[in-house]
Structures are given as C-alpha cells and as structure tokens.
Structure 1
Amino acid sequence: MTHPVALVTGAARGQGAAIVARLHADGFRVAACDLLTDELLASTAQYAHGVLALELDVTSEAQWHAAVAATIEGFGALSALVNNAGVLHRAAIADETAAGFENSWRVNCLGPFLGIRAALPHLTEAESASIVNTCSTSAIRPFPNHSAYGSSKWALRGLTQAAAVELAPAGIRVNAVFPGPIATPMLDERTQDRLAQTSGRLGTPAEVADAVAFLVSANASFITGSEMVIDGGQILRIG
C-alpha cells in the first residue's frame, strides 16, 4: 500500500469536510461518507483523485458494511477510521422524548460502534491502524438541556477507552478528540454568537482536523486511549 486510507463519517460539511481535506493533503486516500449526499458530492467535487464519496447512514449496519467494502474496492485497504458523524439535540429533561433521546444515542454512539465492527477486519491487517472518535466537551462537563447529546457523548468516551484497551494487542490505536465551540453548521448563528462572547472566539473546523491528522499519523504511534480537548479553554472558563 503506497498511501494510507481513511474512512471519515459526517464528511459533507464542517469538521468532517475539513478532516477529509487535511488527510487528503497529508497523502491519505479518503472515503468521505455522509447521509447528506448532495452536500457530500458538492464538497468532494474539488478533488480530482484520492477521495471517494459514499452515502452512509451510520446507524445502519448494512450501510456500514457496504461503505467499508466500497472503500476496499476503491483503495485496496483501510488503515484509519474517523467516526466524526454526530447530531446535536437539545431539550430539557421534562421536554425530552424517548425518540429524541434514542436517536442521539444511535447516531453518536451506536454509529461509531458499528463502524469499528465493520472496519475491524481491515484495520487488523493494516500497518499503524488508527481509530479517532469525535466526542465533545459535553462528555467532560455537563451542560443544561443536553441530557441526550451529553450522555451519548459520555457513552462514546467510554467506548473509546474500552476499544483502546481491547484493540491494543492488535496494534490498533483508538483515541478521541473533544471539540468545544467550533464554527460549524451544527451550531446556528445565534448560538455561535453567544459562544463567541463567552469563549473569546470559536474554533475552526481546520483546528479539529489538525488534531485528527496528528492522531492518525506516525507522530502519534505511541498514543492510544488519549483524549484531546480542542476548546480554547472553554471547560476551564465556564463556572
């Protein structure tokens, strides 16, 4: 294999699109996956080669297997998995619904689990294999009206640690990034303005992508089970 190969979820926009761009620039072949197919095709049209756009609902085990198979068919291997897809759902506990709560968990935690399972046979065969999960500062510090989102990210944090321990003997490193206030379409303009006032500024998707690129690189070859917070000090300032 002359180029490392990464599969990135939630790749149509925001952090995911930035991760695709950074890994491609670093010499990766990238399977860019998202449920938002129109936006995905638009964001990946800039690449003449080395990026494969794939439709993927991360809550579907069948679609995960199809996406991994297409990646292997297109690039011949898979050496890195970036579980970046997620949904931000806010509601007070009194107003939360079972459906809303469950959907957050299905996308934010079940999705990465299904991805790890689908990719595992190929990651085991790869040299310097790596998994990076996108958690959140909500998995470090609680925020009001985030019971579904926060608890799902806490679960993903736990899954990251469990996978890091279990997969270490196979040579697969598993780490997580914990973005704080990042300027992405996940946050509406009003929320971005509020967070910018309390945090000084918002982070950029490229700053998250830089962290992911480090964690999947040979420079992080002795790092697993790590939790990299990318929040400009947000969790230190909020009282």
Structure 2
Amino acid sequence: MGRLGERVAIVTGGAGGIGSAVARALAAEGASVVIADVRDAEGTGLAADLGHPARFVHLDVTSEDDWQRVLADTERELGPVSVLANIAGIIDWGPMEEQGPAAFRRVVDVNLTGVWLGMRAVAPSLRRAGGGVIVNMSSLAGLTAYAGVGAYAASKWGLRGLTRAAALEPAPDGVRVCSVHPGAIRTRMTAGFGDAYTAGQPIPRFGEPEEVARMVLFIVMDATSRRAVRSSWTAASWPGRRPS
C-alpha cells in the first residue's frame, strides 16, 4: 500500500513541473492524490497515468469558490485531507518600470493569496483528519532577491512570512505548516535559461523537479507519521492564540 496509504493529498499546480513530480511521489507512496490545476488536458493525462485513486480537478487557486468546491468534492469522495501541497506559482519577467500593476497583482494573487485561500479552506479538513501537513512552495527568491522578478520575489518573501505565521495556529491540532525554497529548477518556468544562470551556485546546475519532490515527501512522511500526536498546550497558552 505504501507509507502514505489512506492519506488524502491535494497538490495545486499538479499538472506540470514541480507539482507533477510531487503528485507522482505522493501517489507512489499510496496517497490518494487530487491533482489541482487550471491546465485541464495535462492534469487529466497525469491522473490517467497515475491511475486510481489519483484524480484531476480544475482549480483556480485565486478563486475562493473553486477552493470550496474542490474541498467538498474531495471530502465526499475520499475523506478528510491529510496533505496540502501548495505548488501552483507563476512569474512575470522584466524590469519594474515595464511591469504593469495588473501583472504585479496577478503574480501576488496566484503565489501568495492563492496559498492563503488554500490554507484557509483546507485547515478544518486537516483537523478532521486528525492532523497532517501543509507544504508551501516558496523559492530561493523568498530568501534573497533577483533583478527583474520584483513581483515574484515579493510574493515568495510574503509566502515565507505567511507560512511562519500560519504554522502557529493549527499546531496544537497536529497540523504542521512548512515552506520549501528551491533554487533554479528545470521546469517550463525556466525554459530557455542557459547553464550560465547557475554558474554562481555551489552546485552549478539546474535542479530537477524530482529532487524537490523528494524533499516534500520527506516533510510529509515525517508529519504524517506523527499525525496522531497532539500537543498538550492549550489555546490559551499558545503564542498568538486567544483563549476560547
């Protein structure tokens, strides 16, 4: 059955790149994987390749209605969610003076607001599952900065802070919230970049989506192996929580 048998996972951006690698890794360990994306043909093809119980659902991460629909359908068909992998992300290249406000907002809406909507929607399901893990895909750009990707860097720095704040809230209920910060990964987003792009890295090559997926799987395995362990701290004693 695999080490994640009976676990239910939602993977946003699951139709390609890092998202599809994460979906494959979770499915290989026996999880029921919901591949959530706006790329219907690619997502449907991946679900068919993975086989039952993997399935594809259309999800615009910036839509609260889409999140509620996906969660309701997932719980009805598979049960409460144990894993949420927020992988969906976009980028807009170019100098700040050339980037319009609409493009900036779109990047932030997908990369940051979309993650917030997902965590907000799925957190109650994770509690009903008895605990679990949320993995948010940030970036090395969320730890440093690069020219020409201001909106992307802002969204990833914001995601880092959002993750740290969100981790404090459901922790007493056995829910962990983590972020992962890859460097340059060989995906559609980095298509056309030459080897010179990675020349200054300690390991001067592009990473592969499967390498990031293994890190996500490590986090998920550690969290779900202890999903039944609850904190003895009360809401009143937890920093940032108001007494009930």
Q: What is the TM-score of this pair, normalised by structure 1?
A: 0.88
Question: What do residues 118-159 of structure 1 show as CA deviations (whole Å, max 9, x unaligned)?
Answer: 111111112331100000000111100111100011111111
Q: Partners of 2:68 and 2:26 in 1: how far apart?
A: 22
Aligned counterpart, 1:206? 210
The percentage of aligned residue pairs carrying the same residue is 38
Give the RMSD, CA atoms, in angstroms.
1.7
> Does the aligned pair in 2 maintain the 1:128–1:221 contact within 8 Å?
no
Letter in 2 for 1:194: A
> Does the aligned pair in 2 maintain the 1:11–1:33 contact within 8 Å?
yes
Question: 2:18 aligned with 1:15, yes or no?
Answer: yes
Q: Partners of 1:109 and 1:66 in 2: how far apart?
A: 20
Question: What do residues 160-185 of structure 1 show as CA deviations (whole Å, max 9, x unaligned)?
Answer: 00000122122210001001110111
Aligned counterpart, 1:55? 58
Paired residue total: 221
Q: Partners of 2:102 and 2:54 in 1: how far apart?
A: 35
SS of residue paired to 2:177: strand
Letter in 1 for 2:84: L
SS of residue paired to 1:112: helix
> Does the aligned pair in 2 maintain the 1:214–1:220 contact within 8 Å?
no
Aligned counterpart, 1:84? 87
Aligned counterpart, 1:100? 103
> Does the aligned pair in 2 maintain the 1:3–1:27 contact within 8 Å?
yes
Q: Partners of 2:220 and 2:60 in 1: how far apart?
A: 23
Q: What is the TM-score of this pair, normalised by structure 2?
A: 0.86
How far is the alpha carbon of 1:193 from its aligned partner? 3.3
How far is the alpha carbon of 1:43 from its aligned partner? 2.0
SS of residue paired to 1:46: helix
Structure 2 residue runs without a partner (length 5+): 227-244
Q: Partners of 1:211 and 1:56 in 2: how far apart?
A: 24
Q: Partners of 2:73 and 2:181 in 1: how far apart?
A: 29
Aligned counterpart, 2:37? 34
